Amino acid sequence: MQIIAQCPQCGNNWLLDSTAADKRIKCPRCNKLFKVPKLSDIPKAVKIIRQAKGTIYVDESGKTYG
Ligand SMILES: [Zn+2]
């Protein structure tokens, strides 16, 4: 499973492994530290991903988009 997290500062999207959930990552573009939400905070997206086996888009507050 993969997550695409959006940097809150520069808005760039980064493809992450699901192991990055609930961790802080540093944006490679602008060096902003931001938190990747826990998968349990985004149950709707996790449900979707289980169905689609795709990729989910999240921002740091756990909202999904895309
Ligand atoms: Zn950034």
pLDDT tens for the chain, residues 1 to 66: 788 888 999 999 999 988 998 999 999 999 999 999 887 877 666 665 566 566 777 888 878 766
Confidence (pLDDT) at 37: 86
- This prediction's pTM: 0.65
Kindly compute the dihedral angle of the four CA atoms of residues 55, 59, 63, 65, in this order, to the nearest 10 degrees: -50
Residues 6+ apart with CB under 8 A from 50: none
State residue 64 phi and psi, 5-degree precision: -110, 155
Confidence (pLDDT) at 48: 58
CA distance 35 to 51: 25
CA distance 59 to 3: 10
Distance 6 CA to ligand 1 centre (A): 8
Residue 27's domain comprises 2-65
Distance 35 CA to ligand 1 centre (A): 12
Distance 13 CA to ligand 1 centre (A): 8
How many domains, in total, are found in the chain? 1
Confidence (pLDDT) at 53: 62
Confidence (pLDDT) at 59: 82
